[in-house]
Homo-oligomer: A and B are copies of this chain.
């Protein structure tokens, strides 16, 4: 995914998603190869529920993908993998992205 391909709104979503220690560490972990939820939670030392919440956000932002795999012993495992991206942030790039921010001037038109 390239910066030139995303709208301002989507860029905001992506940046907000990346701006979190847990999610950053999750990406770091997945950078070493795909993994399934329970195991990843154990490796990171966080609860599965918490991990799931973050994984859902990462997936919503398009930063990771998931697939359900039936293991040999019948267990359903959900594997997550990184969706490659390359976002070169510069003042000019952001200025360009800002042009495609939705009309209203705040964040997600409140009321």
Contacts and interface: CB of A to CB of B under 8 A. Distances in A.
Number of copies: 2
Interface of A: 8-9, 11-13, 15-16, 18-22, 24-25, 27-28, 30-32, 44-46, 82, 84-92, 94-95, 97-99, 101-102, 105-107
Contact of A94 (B24, B89, B98, B106): B24
A83 to B, nearest CB: 9
16 contacts: A12-B21, A15-B18, A18-B19, A18-B94, A20-B107, A21-B102, A24-B97, A24-B101, A27-B95, A30-B91, A31-B91, A46-B105, A82-B91, A84-B91, A85-B91, A86-B88
B8 A24 contact: yes
